[in-house]
Chain A
Amino acid sequence: MEKLNDANGSTVIEVEDLRKNFGDLQAVDGITFNIEKGEIFGILGPNGAGKTTTMEIIVGLQQKSSGNVRVLGRDPGKDNGWLKQKIGVQLQTVNLFARLTVKETLALFAGFYHHPLEVKTVIDMLELDKKKNDWISNLSGGQLKRVAVGNAIIGNGDILFLDEPTAGLDPQSKQRVWSIINDLKAKGKTIFLATHFMEEAQELCDRVCIIDYGKIIEMDKPYHLIKKYFKETAIEFNVPLEELKEKIEHFAQVSRVNIVKDSTTIYTTDILSTISQLLDLCQQDEKALKNFRIRESNLEDVFLKITGRSIRE
């Protein structure tokens, strides 16, 4: 509680050796991290990695099996409502009263908090003005997700928990949610973001924690992680060159070749030389390279390198 009043760089969430098992399944297996005030902290991992379980324990929806969790200095498992006034939560699956309008839903949730934001402010922020009098049941997936994010922010809490806020959204809606999250950060909110979109984590997060099978594999700033794992640039095209994989791996500057589904990624320290060798090889074999592109390495590549599998698998 004292920490709460400390404006600069104080820890708002402490998680220490958190464990949760469902019978034999170890969903969360010894996770430790701290989140500072004003930070966007991403917890990143494939579906079933333990992101949602971790988040639900932190917000007090589930009880931990062992370990220590403190949010604003309090144990969320024993919260009597004080903590819930200070946080806002958007759950992965959104289910609201089907026949309330957007405006009514937000007003209902606002009514649960001591110092809520104005419903109109939130509607404007989410760009839901045209939809405010529509029933929840008539909204699209993207609009519904935005209402859920709205419910999380309307309480004007200090910490926001967003679980897959853009899953299933079209690119436009996704961009909109991202800009809302950036706005919230600008207002000084701390944001806990669970996602399996590497791109999203890279775009938004100050720090990411990559988890798999309930354990933390890496935790750092996205940029640091990429620099740590890759000095290479990626060459990518939508043709699975299984039969040429071995030959490409023998190119001088190529460190790795990954083939996932119908696309091939080649990591190289010398793009020009690799490309010219690759084109020669393809000419011999009469292969056309579809959708050929060159890009910097990203978190997705990091995940692939650490775990040996794609996050989307």
Chain B
Amino acid sequence: MKMFIKLTIANFKEMFRDKMQIFWFLLFPIVFVLIFGVLFSNIGKKSPSGVPENVSFDIGVASKEEGPLTGPVKESFCSILKMAGIFKVHSSSKAEETEAFKKGKRHALLLIPPDFIEKVQQKAPMTIDLLYDATHLEVLFAVSEVVNAIEKTLRGEMKLVQYNLISSLEFKQKLANPTSDGGKKKNDAALNQIDFVLPGILALTLMQLGLFSSLRVVNLRTQKTLKSLSTTPMPRTTFLAGEITIRLILSLVQGIIIVLVGHYVFNLTVSSSWIAIIGWIILGISCFIALGYMLTTFVKTPESGNALMQVVQFPMMFLAGIFVPQEMMPEFMRPVVHFMPLAYLADALRSSLTGITSIYGTFVNVLVLTGILIVSLAVTSIRFSWE
């Protein structure tokens, strides 16, 4: 233990005497959050209801068949869309609406089967055509949410009162599973887009810290510093434990900086306890540190290690639903998301930070992250070499 503490202190000194390191250590998360925060947030655009005042979408509603949409179908769609507060609803014949859409007068056009209600009640499958303006992807979200909600209502699974939910949703994030645990959802406090993106960025930062932290060991190995240390009675495991402890502390500090900046600058919603958040940060960073160490057992030099880490982290950056929700990805790519460890950490952080319902559920998230941690540790302990 004495060795461990001495070594850890020495490591800290070694790291933080490099001014560039401190600079990047503190600045990296802040810059990261600021850049993405500005890109994704809507500071100053909020109305009291949390809905940006200047946002309004023109939505066309028409029958899938020829002839105008009538009766309860039209009524429910139009009224509910209006209630959402961000749509201007237009309803006429299919031909007219299609024409309007082509001219760019509609952000989205819903073409609904005339027997929509009957089919829902019979639980019969059907398709609604949703034409949307590719430059306003967000409208897709909002509309599909509304349709979802309508469907649920008609099936008697959702009370009308909860339509509030839709307005607070406000195209910022996707509720993967609106039926579960409705009571915990935030109905009044509006969620920002940053609520979706920032936990993802936190997850991404943790992943990078974790993956790349193992490169220090590869560095020390090639520089033969490890060899010098292994002539002493200090057990090598003590050295590794020290390394990992430092990374845990560093990432915890960075994680907290990210959350605080997000909260105070961009109104990131922090809904759950700090204990849960810190718990996820620790589990997440442990998982990626272990993964990083496992990967370094396949390389010999810091350069090839760096390249390998890039290969691993790059697809995760874009395919783990960090910047773009899964739902916006092309259909064929979505299954890929489920193979990205980062997706689970991002999901867990998103749900524990902002209270958005988890896609995979806490249990699955813990299971996946712990699983990766254990497998990586096992492979590392078999393959790890000191020289």
Contact = CB atoms under 8 A, between A and B. Distances in A.
Is the A/B pair a real complex? yes
Interface in A192-207: none
Contact of A155 (B11, B228, B232): B232
B83 interface: no
B7 A108 contact: yes
A95 B224 CA distance: 6
A85 B233 contact: yes
Contact of B231 (A84, A99, A100, A108): A84
A95 B10 contact: no
Interface string A60-101: 010000000000000000000100110011010111111110
Interface string B218-250: 000001110110111111000000000000000
What's the dominant secondary structure at chain A's contact region? loop
Nearest to A79: B233
B307 interface: no
Given A89-B231, A91-B231, A100 B224 contact: no
Interface stretch (A18-26, A109-117, A175-183, A243-251): A109-117
A151 B362 CA distance: 50
Interface residues of B, number: 22
B17 interface: yes
Given A81-B233, A112-B3, 13 more contacts: A61-B227, A81-B235, A95-B224, A95-B225, A96-B225, A96-B228, A99-B18, A100-B13, A107-B6, A108-B7, A112-B232, A151-B228, A151-B232
Interface centre among B2, B13, B14 (most CB of A within 10 A): B14
A166 to B, nearest CB: 18
Nearest to B6: A111
Interface centre among B11, B230, B231, B234 (most CB of A within 10 A): B231
A43 interface: no
Interface string A38-67: 000000000000000000000101000000
Nearest to A99: B17
Nearest to B227: A91
A99 B233 contact: no
A99 B14 CA distance: 5
B6 A94 contact: no
A19 B305 CA distance: 34
A135 interface: yes
Interface string A109-141: 101110000000000000000000001000000
Contacts of A99: 13-15, 17-18
Nearest to A82: B233
B232 A98 contact: no
Nearest to B5: A111
A95 B226 CA distance: 8
A36 interface: no
Nearest to B386: A61
A108 B10 contact: yes
20 contacts: A61-B227, A61-B230, A84-B232, A84-B233, A85-B233, A91-B227, A93-B224, A95-B225, A95-B227, A95-B228, A97-B10, A99-B15, A100-B10, A108-B10, A112-B3, A112-B234, A113-B232, A135-B17, A152-B231, A155-B232
A85 B231 CA distance: 10
A218 interface: no
Given A98-B14, A100-B14, A108-B7, A61 B231 contact: yes
Contacts of A95: 223-225, 227-228
A93 to B, nearest CB: 5
Kindly list the 10 A-B residue pairs having the minimum CB-CB distance in the complex, ordered from nearest. Answer: A89-B231, A99-B17, A84-B233, A111-B6, A112-B232, A112-B234, A97-B14, A95-B225, A95-B224, A95-B223
Contacts of A88: 231
A97 B242 CA distance: 14
A104 interface: yes
Contacts of B232: 84, 109, 112-113, 151, 155
A107 to B, nearest CB: 8
B243 to A, nearest CB: 13
A111 B17 contact: no
A100 to B, nearest CB: 6
Nearest to B21: A99
Contacts of B225: 95-97
A155 B228 CA distance: 14
B223 A59 contact: no
Nearest to A93: B224
A99 B21 CA distance: 12
B2 A111 contact: yes
A57 to B, nearest CB: 13
A94 B223 CA distance: 9
Contacts of A93: 224
A105 to B, nearest CB: 8
B233 to A, nearest CB: 4
Contacts of B15: 99
Interface string A130-166: 0000010000000000001001100100000000000
A107 B7 CA distance: 10
Nearest to A62: B387
A124 to B, nearest CB: 22
Contacts of A98: 14
B224 A111 contact: no
A102 B227 CA distance: 19
Contacts of B7: 108, 111
Nearest to A152: B231
Nearest to B2: A111
A58 to B, nearest CB: 11
A46 to B, nearest CB: 22
Contacts of B14: 97-100
A132 to B, nearest CB: 15
A104 B7 CA distance: 11
Interface in B3-31: 3, 6-7, 10-11, 13-15, 17-18
A54 to B, nearest CB: 15
B10 A104 contact: yes
A97 B228 CA distance: 10
A109 B231 CA distance: 10
Interface centre among A61, A91, A99, A155 (most CB of B within 10 A): A99
B227 A108 contact: no
Contact of A108 (B6, B18, B224): B6
Contacts of A155: 232-233
